[in-house]
A and B are shown apart, each in its own frame.
Chain A
Amino acid sequence: MGTQSQIYAGAFADPVFAAQSVFRTLMDSFARPGTIGRLSTQSSPPSPLGNASGAVALTLCDQDTAVWLSPALAKSAVSQWIAFHTGACVTEAKDEARFAFFEKGAAVPGFDQFALGTQEYPDRSTTLVVEVEALTGGQPLVARGPGIKTEIVVAPKGLPDVFLDFWTANRAIFPRGIDLVLTAEDSVLCLPRTTKLERE
Chain B
Amino acid sequence: MNDLATYNFAYLDEQTKRMIRRAILKAIAIPGYQVPFASREMPMPYGWGTGGVQVTASILGPDDVLKVIDQGADDTTNAVSIRAFFQKVANVAVTTKTVEATIIQTRHRIPEEPLKEGQTLVYQVPIPEPLRFLEPRETETRKMHALEEYGLMHVKLYEDISRNGHIATTYAYPVKVEGRYVMDPSPTPKFDNPKMHMSEALQLFGAGREKRIYAVPPFTEVVSLDFEDHPFEIQTFEKPCALCGAENVYLDEVVLDDRGGRMFVCSDTDHCEDRRAHGHAGSMLASTQHQRKEPAE
Contact = CB atoms under 8 A, between A and B. Distances in A.
A166 to B, nearest CB: 16
Interface stretch (A58-66, A75-83, A89-97): A58-66
Contacts of B143: 120
Contacts of B31: 146, 194
Given A16-B8, A20-B61, A59-B21, A193 B29 contact: yes
A199 interface: no
Contacts of A64: 19
Interface size range on A against B: 35 or more
B149 to A, nearest CB: 11
A26 B25 contact: yes
Interface string B9-47: 100001101110111111111110101100000000000
A140 interface: no
B104 interface: no
A45 interface: no
Contacts of B217: 30-32, 146-147, 192, 194
Contacts of A19: 14, 17-18
Contact of B29 (A16, A149, A192): A192
Contact of A120 (B27, B60, B142, B198): B142
A64 B28 CA distance: 20
Given A59-B18, A175-B33, A146 B25 contact: no
Nearest to A64: B19
A192 B28 CA distance: 8
A17 interface: yes
B147 interface: yes
Interface size range on B against A: 35 or more
A20 B63 CA distance: 11
Contact of A24 (B61, B198, B218): B61
A31 B30 contact: no
B17 A146 contact: no
Given A23-B21, A174-B180, A62 B35 contact: no
Interface string A101-138: 00000000000000000111111010100000000000
B95 interface: no
B207 to A, nearest CB: 15
Given A17-B62, A21-B61, A120-B142, A30 B18 contact: no
Contacts of B23: 123
24 contacts: A16-B9, A17-B61, A19-B14, A21-B61, A23-B58, A27-B59, A30-B25, A30-B217, A31-B28, A31-B218, A32-B217, A60-B21, A60-B25, A63-B15, A120-B142, A121-B36, A121-B142, A122-B30, A147-B28, A147-B217, A179-B26, A193-B29, A194-B29, A194-B30
